[in-house]
Structure 1
Amino acid sequence: MSEKSKQPRKIELYSKEFYAACTVGGVVACGPTHSSVCPLDLVKCRLQVNPTLYKSNFDGWKSIVRNEGFSKIFTGIGATFIGYSLQGAGKYGGYEFFKHQYINSVVSPELANRHLTTVYLCASATAEFLADIMLCPFEAIKVRQQTTLPPYCNNVFQGLNKLYSTEGLGGFYKGLVPLWCRQIPYTMCKFTSFEMIVQAIYRRIKTPKDQLSSLQQISVSFLGGYLAGILCAIVSHPADVMVSKINSEKKEGESMVQASKRIYKAIGFGGLWNGLFVRIVMVGTLTSFQWLIYDSFKVKVGLPTTG
């Protein structure tokens, strides 16, 4: 076999194969990582709804294992895996697509290169807007499972059937607006800060990116992802609290604005920051590993790392 035939076939940038690879990379990066922190997310969501429920994360896990059984610390993992796999597909694949489209179709490449931050913000916002439409039904099931005792349902499919039979299609999207309010700023911050942090790291290194090994480039992605994740957690946390509260406490016939006003009046500004430290740890870890997995996948299929 010739040396040429042994080399992996490179995927042409911005081709259909390129976007397909990025979409699959988003699934691989988001589904497993979000599922892995499900026990942490469970305690976080319950504390957002009732801050007095547990004294700490460890107290929460001990209480759940003692009163509900060990398996219950993974409550909501099915909805989490399916929902965030779909969201990852739309978010990462969509970001790559819209970033390229905005640079080459909406404005001239020369102008876009002078305003890359705006391109990153617009591309990530568009991708997340669409990705959340796929995520929302599963997020609704997850939050109900995690914040009701006894749990709302035993598995994601039972939950989908129960929610549809009791609330109709609207029940799946009751939390879409607050989800957009949480996820769109989060993703805009996640992708834009990542791109800028990675660029700053490469400028600091001074060695051209294409002269660095794949391992070195992926390490930059991991570090950039963690720093970006901390910023994401802070920016999106108040909306994250409202998503949990609205999904579990919104009254029949109450509009989103009415529910938000009522809940804010009850919890105040300070209540919007319940569970922030836990979310910083969770989101920072999530974001760093998502970029690590995503860029490792891209390298594996013959694509350059992001940034």
Structure 2
Amino acid sequence: MAATEQLPLEQEFDYETLPSNYGLGRNMLAGAFAGIAEHSVMYPVDLLKTRMQIINPSSGGLYTGLTNAVSTIYRIEGWRTLWKGVSSVIVGAGPAHAVYFGTYEVVKDMAGGNVDDGHHPLAAAMSGASATIASDALMNPFDVIKQRMQVHGSVHKSLMQCAKTLYRTEGLQAFYVSYPTTLCMTVPFTATQFVAYESISKVMNPSQQYDPFTHCMAGGLAGAFAAGLTTPLDVVKTLLQTRGLAESEEIRSARGLFNAAAIIKRQFGWSGFLRGMRPRIISTMPSTAICWTSYEMAKAYFKQQSEK
């Protein structure tokens, strides 16, 4: 090939056949960039979701809906409250998403997801499940700290102060009491999301060229579908991660997935498992769109650099 001859666009941005010198490290850097972008932009909506999922909140934390929650928080606590605890996800999301997308690419390749241009839903599901198991082990403590800082009336002012207080009063187990529940939620969530993303991408962009619009739409739709499906487990996770702040003795002594689910069912009925579904979908749809778009953009950049 002559030095001046350019690669066809389809070959230049074919993500299923990355060059040998692309490297796992660059996938992880792309993933870290995607994670920080996703969580930072959508953090206020995530805070609203947490507030609306709290069981038996204090009087100042009672909201009739999403709009009421926004106006009440803004009026009483100020707009900065919507970003309270964001430092926790910024610190944790970079490394966790680096592990997330690094694992995704490795397992997807090992499972045969890059063999040809065909549809590989099983490989996508396996890579998604493996990615979330690895990344959640790293992210779960930061998620606990984040939610402790998000709830109404939280006295925690910083990431380190919250972590120290939580460790001193509840021990190391407080950072991982929700991990089994988190995996019960995130494994099906991520497997569903990855299958949906890969499937929608194949339909919308069969040539697999770099296309920000396709990545954005496929990521958003996949995230919304997976979020709605796993909301009940997210409610259980929130109860376990914020149990130390509850006024109810029953909630403070919640021991795990099934015990927490029984408390929700007893106090609110089946509708209790749908608490916060609307803000969860509203936050997840754009956040996954941002995540996948950022990841593919960073991936495209690193691939271009490796081919120079």
TM-score normalised per structure 2: 0.83
Q: What is the 5 A alignment of 1:1-307? A: 13=18, 15=20, 17-50=22-55, 53-103=62-112, 116-147=120-151, 149-203=152-206, 208-209=207-208, 214=210, 217-249=211-243, 250-252=251-253, 254-302=255-303
The secondary structure found in structure 2 opposite 1:103 is coil
Deviation at 1:173, TM superposition (A): 0.4
* SS, match of residue 141 in structure 2: helix
Amino acid at match of 2:223: G
Structure 1 residue identity aligned to 2:78: G
Compute the displacement of 1:17 (Å): 4.6
Give the distance between the partners of 2:76 and 2:254, measured in 1 at CA.
Answer: 34
Gaps of 5+ in 1: none
How many Å separate the matches in 2 of 1:27 and 1:269?
A: 37
Report deviation, 1:123: 1.3
Once residues 254 and 240 of structure 1 are traced to their aligned partners in structure 2, the CA distance between those partners, rounded to angstroms, is: 16
The CA distance in 2 between the partners of 1:74 and 1:36, in whole Å, is: 10
**Contact kept? 2:103, 2:131, Cα under 8 Å:** yes
* Cα RMSD (Å): 3.1
Alpha-carbon deviation of 1:16?
Answer: 7.4
User: Against the structure 1 CA distance between its residues 302 and 254, is the aligned structure 2 distance closer, same or farther, given a 3 Å change threshold?
Assistant: closer
Deviation at 1:234, TM superposition (A): 1.1
Between the aligned partners of 1:236 and 1:260, the Cα distance in structure 2 is 14
Counterparts of 1:62 and 1:292, CA distance in 2: 31
Identity among equivalent positions (%) equals: 24
TM superposition shift of 1:265: 2.2
60-69 vs 220-229, greater mean Cα deviation: 60-69
The answer to whether the Cα contact below 8 Å between 1:246 and 1:260 also exists between their aligned partners in 2 is: no
Q: Deviations over 1:79-112 (max 9, x none)?
A: 12222223211211110011112229xxx969xx
Name segments (4+ residues, structure 1) moved above 6 Å: 9-12
TM-superposed deviation, 1:241: 1.1
After superposition, the C-alpha distances for 1:258-281 in whole angstroms (9 at most, x for unaligned) are 233223322222111122222212
Residue 185 of structure 1, CA deviation: 1.3
1:72 maps to a residue whose letter is T
The code of the aligned residue for 2:221 comes to L
Q: Structure 1 residues 303, 245: closer, same or farther in 2, change over 3 A?
A: farther
Matched AA of 2:89? T
If each structure's helix is expressed as a fraction of its own residues, which one has the higher value? 1
In 2 relative to 1, CA 86–266 (structure 1 residues): closer, same or farther, beyond 3 Å?
farther
Aligned length: 286
Instruction: Measure the CA separation in 2 of the matches of 1:256 and 1:185.
Output: 15
**Counterpart Cα distance in 2 of 1:248 and 1:96:** 33
d(CA) in 2 for partners of 1:15, 1:254: 48
Query: Does structure 1 conserve the Cα–Cα contact (< 8 Å) formed by 2:37 and 2:291?
Result: no
CA offsets 1:39-88 (integer angstroms, 9 cap, x no match): 11112111111588113333222322332233212112111222222321
Q: Which runs of 5+ in 2 are unaligned?
A: 244-250
